[in-house]
Structure 1
Amino acid sequence: MLDSFPAGYRALVIGSSGAIGGALLDALRADPDCAVAIGLNRRSDPMIDFDQEDSIGVAARQLSASGPFQLIVNAAGVLHSERFMPEKKLGDLAYEQLLATFRANAFGPALVLRHFAPLLDRKRSVLALLSAKVGSIGDNRLGGWYSYRASKAALNMLVKTAAIELARTRPNTCVVALHPGTVDSGLSRPFSGARIGRPAADAAADLLEVIDRLEASASGGFFSYNGEALPW
């Protein structure tokens, strides 16, 4: 499936309990060339919970012996919860929602970059973090969804900055932000995701196709599921 990776490549999906993360893990496990495909979430062993900072470093240390990994994907994130929905106006902004959204979409992934980048194969590897097109500042025409947009924009900056640093020590590593598009999932269903989205398995296949085409020179980029480069 992933022709640019060597036979017997190793993959890791963080956020594997979500729709896209689960579909990515299923696709990787179905690939005969993938020797190891590990999923991490709040209930896995080891577990990862972005609400528990220490869990990220602990999981990375426990998995270090299973590496090096040729592919690591962070598919964890949040748009809404039982406590809040995306803000429609400035009057909806609140600390609790801002903190929860940034913790899931920016702070947690930042520590994934810190702790999991050392597990990447120096010969050829991709570290992909799922972002969102609504996190593009240049493409923002509708407004609203303040904390989600801002947290994904922050994630994009973290990816870009990490890519610059890693290029010095791991020139064959590609670190990218990927937009999966609208998927029929718990995240998008309150916003007509079941009507306008596509199956998670299709999104996973598209993302893996983009990942397979990535070269080290693409590191620090922001790409859509169709391979299109997106504006910051």
Structure 2
Amino acid sequence: MIGASGGIGRAMSDEMRARGGHVTALSRSENGLDVTDPAAVARVMGGLEGSFQTVFVSVGILAPEGVSPEKQLSAIDPAEMARVFAVNTVGVAHLLSYLPRLLPKQGRSVTGVLTARVGSIGDNRIGGWHSYRASKAALNQIVHGAAIELKRSHRDAIVAALHPGTVATPFTQGYDPKHGKLAPEEAARNLCDVMERLTRDQSGGFYDYAGKEIVW
């Protein structure tokens, strides 16, 4: 479990344990896993031993601290956009680069990467949130590419981009959608259910909390 100190990450760790899993919980606060620091990623991820049947990556920011997502193009700040990409895309891509060593060569494994429906280009109806949307769209591409590569060496490995819905965590504070928010515990149950049901043919896909495919 990568990103175990966040609202969704903590709930996922608890849910996985409740289902009988042995959870290795990693986070910046507990293990110093700063995904924007290549040395920290190498130290933590490189220090892992054994193989992992389930990997869940819950890492991301909506915007740099003290900054709101852009509502229009004129609000784009290159440095702030670079920070969002450094965490949401480059940082997570670096984490995924360790998968070939950490996943079992034989037998089913599932890697779920937390992304967001707003990263869908085809589903974008209202614009805005340019840095966050673009960083998640780029992450979706990384996930898809990772699934293709892993299939060559890890025949039964499944890698998927997952949208949790709008979850009531500090991440979504101040954002109140009409459909309401899910409790972290409910979101974790949904995501674990989806990961348990995914098949090898679905590897590389983009799915929501109900297991429905999301357009790229």
Mapped pair 1:109 → 2:92? yes
Mapped pair 1:43 → 2:29? yes
Give 1:174's aligned residue: 158
Structure 1 contact 184–193 (Cα < 8 Å) conserved:
no
Q: Secondary structure at the match of 1:17?
A: coil
Q: Secondary structure at the match of 2:160?
A: strand
Amino acid at match of 1:60: M
- Alignment partners' CA distance in 2, 1:189 and 1:117: 36
TM-score by length of 1: 0.89
Residue from 69, 91, 104 that aligns with 2:74: 91
Amino acid at match of 1:24: M
- Alignment partners' CA distance in 2, 1:158 and 1:209: 23
Q: After superposition, what is the alpha-carbon deviation per residue over 1:171-208, rounded to whole angstroms, capped at 9, x for unaligned?
A: 10001100000000111111126982110000000000
- Alignment partners' CA distance in 2, 1:200 and 1:142: 26
TM-score by length of 2: 0.95
Q: Secondary structure at the match of 2:148?
A: helix
Q: Secondary structure at the match of 1:40?
A: coil
Deviation at 1:50, TM superposition (A): 1.4
Deviation at 1:117, TM superposition (A): 3.5
Q: Secondary structure at the match of 1:73?
A: strand
Q: After superposition, what is the alpha-carbon deviation per residue over 1:112-156, rounded to whole angstroms, capped at 9, x for unaligned?
A: 110233201221101111010000000000000000000000000
Structure 2 contact 33–41 (Cα < 8 Å) conserved:
yes
More strand by share: 1
Amino acid at match of 2:18: A
Amino acid at match of 1:17: S
Give 1:5's aligned residue: none
Amino acid at match of 1:109: V
Equivalences, count: 215
Give 1:148's aligned residue: 132
Deviation at 1:44, TM superposition (A): 2.0
Residue from 177, 184, 188 that aligns with 1:200: 184
Give 1:52's aligned residue: 37
Deviation at 1:110, TM superposition (A): 0.4
Amino acid at match of 2:213: A
Mapped pair 1:14 → 2:13? no
The 1:143–1:118 alpha-carbon spacing in structure 2 relative to 1, beyond 3 Å, is: same
Mapped pair 1:128 → 2:112? yes
Q: Secondary structure at the match of 1:176?
A: strand
Structure 1 contact 185–194 (Cα < 8 Å) conserved:
no
Residue from 12, 15, 30 that aligns with 1:27: 15
Structure 1 contact 76–104 (Cα < 8 Å) conserved:
yes
- Alignment partners' CA distance in 1, 2:177 and 2:33: 27
- Taking only the aligned residue pairs, the percentage that are identical comes to 40
